[in-house]
Chains A and B, each alone.
Chain A
């Protein structure tokens, strides 16, 4: 049975339709990447899956007792809130010290336990977020541009870690990424989103799909097209 099964999902903010007719399933052990231009509803889709956004139509079915490890796109910790890395890892459920150390080590930030979250660099902060997501025995990781703020080797190591985790613990990963060249290597399946699912499938299949090319330009060097894309997706992207 699928870990996450979405049928006909529609979400509106104010009068604006952010997502419509989205169908998506994620199976155990799968790495699925969502790509799409800014404003295409990627983050909204993830937030709908965790329950932070209510669907206006359609449904989201989660496997029973599904544990989600969520890494948000942005997390601002108010400077009035003192928070060590160690304490952060135990939110909301206390974790054993050796588990916390292991998670930090896996995420590549071993010696940070006692540091304040607010004193971390952007890259360290992202890794601590990932370490926390790993800790609570997640069945699926939801990563919203989790590699932003990481340098190139850091980012490469990050995707390697994701694959290792999938292989060792059979967890699923659903992630949003702007790094198209990496995505194409690291994913089992790519979902091209622009308000609805334009196309999806194996990376090489998606890369050659006309809908994908319309969004990102030919080849995987078209990353820049992400930001130039205008949002008239009904012309660019065929409805299903």
Chain B
């Protein structure tokens, strides 16, 4: 196993797999709750987290986690107050991204490869990164599985949740925390701009094949895992950027399941 992890390709594959498996079930909730843009906004804010982390010499994981979490809470809070959500998200997401990009330019001494954080740099994943990715991913999975029934009820209808003694606001908060965690572990793998794709595309691809929420989550995880492995392999064969190759693979799988659905009666 130790020798195996010496190979950067194996590390890349495991990193991609870890992120995909954690992102897929969470991505189902993002799709069901129509939070796609919410996920994007939070992910874009991650660049600001990267800048702050580098500026204050903190770990990038911690910086991204804190800023994503703050962004997600801010957005959730604003949408509770009935502001026009898409407008607010547009303002916040792009502002955070722009401030992040500007802030990064102030950082001297460290040669920051911005592309690595915008599009990910999965081939540079080290053992430490791998541990963070799998621990973070596992935490997300545990959180989602533990709260599954309550999350699902609250997603279906907040009122049905209340009547069953479930507070849908708590469940929303749990999803928000899980989302920030996924973004923090995924930024190294696919980058801030493509995290949303890893959340949404596998879930959307799984929808036509699933008859229950649980099956959709499991199929989404399988499709996400397949995309990660396929993307790494394709990038090796054709010397293409790895993060985008993973997303391309997921997109092709999405098209395939949509076609399969059409072919069936």
Contacts and interface: CB of A to CB of B under 8 A. Distances in A.
Answer yes or no: do A and B interact.
yes
Interface of A: 47, 50-52, 68-70, 72, 75, 77-78, 80-84, 87-88, 91-93, 116, 136, 142
Nearest to A88: B156
Contacts of B163: 50-52, 68-70, 142
B213 A83 contact: yes
Contacts of A52: 158-159, 162-163
A81 B33 CA distance: 9
Interface stretch (B113-121, B146-154, B222-230, B236-244): B146-154
A77 B159 contact: no
A118 to B, nearest CB: 11
B87 interface: no
A82 B210 contact: yes
Interface of B is mostly: helix
Contacts of B262: none
Interface in B8-43: 31-34
Contacts of A47: 159, 162
A84 B212 contact: yes
Residue picked from B34, B149, B164, most chain A C-beta under 10 Å:
B164
A72 B156 CA distance: 12
B159 A82 contact: no
Nearest to B29: A81
The 3 A-B pairs of least Cβ separation, nearest first, read A70-B163, A50-B163, A52-B162
B149 A93 contact: yes
B166 interface: yes
A82 B207 contact: yes
A72 B159 contact: yes
Contacts, number: 69
Nearest to B207: A80
Given A72-B157, A78-B34, A87 B213 contact: yes
A70 B153 CA distance: 13
Contacts of B152: 91-92
A92 B164 contact: yes
A116 B211 contact: yes
Nearest to A114: B211
B200 to A, nearest CB: 10
A81 B213 contact: yes
Interface in B116-161: 149-150, 152-153, 155-161
B80 to A, nearest CB: 13
A51 B170 CA distance: 14
A28 B21 CA distance: 49
Contacts of A80: 31-32, 203-204, 207
Interface string B46-60: 000000000000000
Given A68-B163, A87-B212, A87-B214, 17 more contacts: A52-B163, A68-B164, A69-B163, A70-B159, A72-B157, A75-B156, A75-B157, A80-B204, A80-B207, A81-B156, A84-B212, A92-B152, A92-B161, A92-B164, A92-B166, A93-B149, A93-B164
Interface in B66-92: none
B154 to A, nearest CB: 9
A51 B164 CA distance: 10
A91 B149 contact: yes
A82 B211 contact: yes
A65 to B, nearest CB: 10
B216 interface: yes
B210 A92 contact: no
B94 interface: no
Nearest to A132: B160
Interface in B159-193: 159-164, 166
A136 to B, nearest CB: 8
A53 B163 CA distance: 11
18 contacts: A47-B159, A50-B162, A52-B163, A68-B163, A69-B163, A78-B32, A78-B33, A80-B203, A80-B204, A81-B155, A81-B213, A82-B207, A82-B216, A84-B211, A87-B213, A91-B149, A91-B160, A92-B164
